[in-house]
Structure 1
Amino acid sequence: MAKIYTEKDASLDPIKGKRIAVLGYGSQGRAWALNLRDSGLDVVVGLERQGNSWKQAEADGFKPVLTEDAVKQSDIVIFLVPDMVQRYVYRERVQPHLREGMDLVFAHGFNIHYKLIEPPKTVDVYMVAPKGPGPTVREYFVHGGGVPALVAIHQNYSGKALEKALAIAKGIGATRPGVIETTFKEETETDLIGEQVDLVGGIMELMRSAFQTLVEMGYQPEVAYFETINEMKMIVDIIHNKGFYGMLKAVSDTAKYGGITVGKYVINEDVKRRMREAAEKVRNGKFAEEWIEEYNRGSPTIKQALQEIQNSLEEKIGNQLREMIERGKPKS
């Protein structure tokens, strides 16, 4: 069973008196910086340029500085810039200013696990990975809660890396619900596999295929959209709150029987075999190689796919129906 740490297992003491550089001020960066500051810690925001993020940080009461200046004056450096930018930021802005005993902190293990970043042995390297988007990390914290997180240790030069990882997790509110100990390998691979076969890739293509099937059979696209895409949120919300059993108890007996018997016919062993093939590409590093090559070419696959989806019938129908749905929401 996984080791789970909560508030009683964590203290801010290991990082009190240390300056923390938060690199990046996007979704996660803003949430982390605000939460850590509200926890009484010394935070400086490091950014690549004086753009919109810089203005937002200033509006939030920070005095942002350029990335390398943040690193020079800090003891703990937290990478909250996009995955494929991290290696450049590390090589050009962080590595030249690393001192013995500093900490490098990641919210995702991609760059460490696939050796895009290889830190010196004289620093602690650990991860705190909230299992939710930045705005949720901030919202839950402000209201006295927190988003669960994973923690992992890659290098423990000081002998106190876990204590510091738990301190960071406490500072952003993650130890309130609980923090699960993992490894960089497990976090990276499960995150990528989940995104591909389920959360982003699998669920999107399942909904699109169901919609297209109904339309091809002659049903009105508006009706097909409601049945195959719009209602997905309602079902997932029930699963999120009550689990699969709770969801099945909540739907009609007709839905139970149809779902139980047909679901396994559609998502069959052949689908699971292809999921496993995709997962093995993550585990053996082939996906990382493909993604790095794709990124270096300017991400043409992503651009083409986004254009195709934007112009698809299901997206056009969705845009129309979302306006109608919005009109029906209760006014606050």
Structure 2
Amino acid sequence: MPAKVYTDKDADLRVIKKKTLAIIGYGSQGHAHAQNLKDSGLNVIIGLYKKSKSAAVARKQGFEVFETAEAVERADVIMIAVPDMKQAEVYENDILPNLTEGKTLAFTHGLAIHFGLIEAPKGIDVIMVAPKGPGHVVRSQYVEGKGVPALIAINEGSSKDAKKVALAWAKGVGGTRAGVIETTFKEECETDLFGEQAVLCGGASALVMAGFETLVEAGYQPEMAYFECLHELKLIVDLMVESGISGMRFSISETAEWGDYISGPRVINAQSKKAMKAILKDIQTGKFTKNWVKEYKDGLPKYKQFIEDGQNHQIEKTGQRLRSLMPWVKKRNIKGTQASYN
């Protein structure tokens, strides 16, 4: 049975109209939620750590900025919009001591709640509002009078009003303009992690690099390998996003389509699916999160090595040179930047 899709008529901004909404962090999602909620006529404040570089930016954009503890104390609804691995520390130090009964704790992702990195006390509603798009798109679509689809979730033990607050928040950021689907912290977290690791990030990047290496090792020019295994990927992905997999196949040549049918299953096969199931099991059991928390606490040695190895791969050097020949491709030198508690 298809999931119910909530739209503008199902949400009421009056539910949070008289409340103070605090966004903790002013990064990608944080700034988008804050600006959209403010433009929806709601009272939004920003919570940041002392001497945060984002404080001046938030003030310039019309927000009152407080240190995190004070923002939590002042607010009725508090959204934690800092990176996953920083959330527990910020929560324990600045949020939990200032939570009082009746407040609502909100998240844009389910990891911290689902895997117990954060445990809210009784009397605190816990919700999630997760737009399915990066912050800059959440903002730009709102400004255009549109919206990005969003997910909401209500944690067990929350009050009967929690869903109304989640829907109102989703409406405030523009989600109900496109459509909102209710999920659970468990379902959102596990599917999100799996999609990132097995398909969107891990799977796609590993597939591209393996294809590039196969052609180069066979004696083909790295420039040709880059064009065929990386550059043209956007064309195919865009077609799938716009028209589905069948629509993509309809749009490409018959030769490419025939190759899709007979060769795709040779690369992504039963063994690949077995590996995907193992990845999913690691996510479901908490093994992935446990290992990631340990890596973070150890100072990220493997993580940093992975970054360095990836940046030094031949595909990156080839791509940098070829992208300079393509004026239509937007250039963004974001290599090596890391998310931070803004």
For Structure 1 versus Structure 2, the TM-score category normalised by the shorter chain is over 0.9
For 1:55-134, what aligned pairs fall within 5 Å after superposition? 55-134=56-135
Structural RMSD (CA):
1.1
Match of 2:239 in 1: 238
SS at match of 2:46: strand
Cα distance in 2 between the residues matched to 1:260 and 1:3: 34
Cα distance in 2 between the residues matched to 1:327 and 1:124: 47
Q: Is the 8 A contact 1:121 1:155 kept in 2?
A: no
Q: Is the 8 A contact 1:46 1:65 kept in 2?
A: yes
Q: Is the 8 A contact 2:78 2:106 kept in 1?
A: yes
For 1:177-188, what aligned pairs fall within 5 Å after superposition? 177-188=178-189
SS at match of 1:326: coil
Q: Is the 8 A contact 1:152 1:183 kept in 2?
A: yes
Q: Is the 8 A contact 2:197 2:203 kept in 1?
A: yes
Match of 2:206 in 1: 205
One-letter amino acid of the structure 2 residue matched with residue 52 of structure 1: K
* TM-score (normalised: structure 2): 0.94
Cα distance in 2 between the residues matched to 1:41 and 1:256: 50
For 1:266-281, what aligned pairs fall within 5 Å after superposition? 266-281=267-282
SS at match of 2:223: helix
CA drift at 1:52:
2.2
Q: Is the 8 A contact 1:103 1:125 kept in 2?
A: yes
Cα distance in 2 between the residues matched to 1:17 and 1:58: 22
* TM-score (normalised: structure 1): 0.97
Match of 1:44 in 2: 45
For 1:312-327, what aligned pairs fall within 5 Å after superposition? 312-326=313-327
Match of 1:193 in 2: 194
Bigger Cα displacement from structure 2, 154-163 vs 202-211? 154-163
Match of 1:149 in 2: 150
Bigger Cα displacement from structure 2, 292-301 vs 201-210? 292-301
Q: Is the 8 A contact 1:101 1:158 kept in 2?
A: no
Q: Is the 8 A contact 1:5 1:179 kept in 2?
A: yes
- Structure 1 residues 235 and 157: alpha-carbon distance in aligned structure 2, compared to 1, 3 A threshold: closer
Q: Is the 8 A contact 1:123 1:155 kept in 2?
A: no
Q: State the 4+ residue runs in structure 1 displaced beyond 3 angstroms.
A: 155-158
Match of 1:160 in 2: 161
Unaligned segments of structure 1, at least 5 residues: none
Bigger Cα displacement from structure 2, 112-121 vs 50-59? 50-59
CA drift at 1:155:
4.0
Match of 1:23 in 2: 24
Q: Is the 8 A contact 1:75 1:102 kept in 2?
A: yes
- Structure 1 residues 287 and 102: alpha-carbon distance in aligned structure 2, compared to 1, 3 A threshold: same
Cα distance in 2 between the residues matched to 1:64 and 1:232: 42
Cα distance in 2 between the residues matched to 1:282 and 1:5: 29
One-letter amino acid of the structure 2 residue matched with residue 267 of structure 1: I
Aligned residue pairs, count? 329
Cα distance in 2 between the residues matched to 1:50 and 1:30: 17
CA drift at 1:72:
0.9
- Structure 1 residues 214 and 176: alpha-carbon distance in aligned structure 2, compared to 1, 3 A threshold: same
Match of 1:260 in 2: 261
SS at match of 1:77: strand
SS at match of 1:324: coil
One-letter amino acid of the structure 2 residue matched with residue 115 of structure 1: G
For 1:217-236, what aligned pairs fall within 5 Å after superposition? 217-236=218-237
Q: Is the 8 A contact 2:323 2:329 kept in 1?
A: no
SS at match of 2:155: strand
Cα distance in 1 between the residues matched to 2:216 and 2:188: 39
Cα-to-partner distance string for 1:54-81 (whole Å, 9 max, x where unaligned): 1211221212111011011110000100
Cα distance in 2 between the residues matched to 1:260 and 1:145: 37
Q: Is the 8 A contact 2:129 2:169 kept in 1?
A: yes
Cα distance in 1 between the residues matched to 2:135 and 2:40: 17
Cα distance in 2 between the residues matched to 1:55 and 1:138: 19
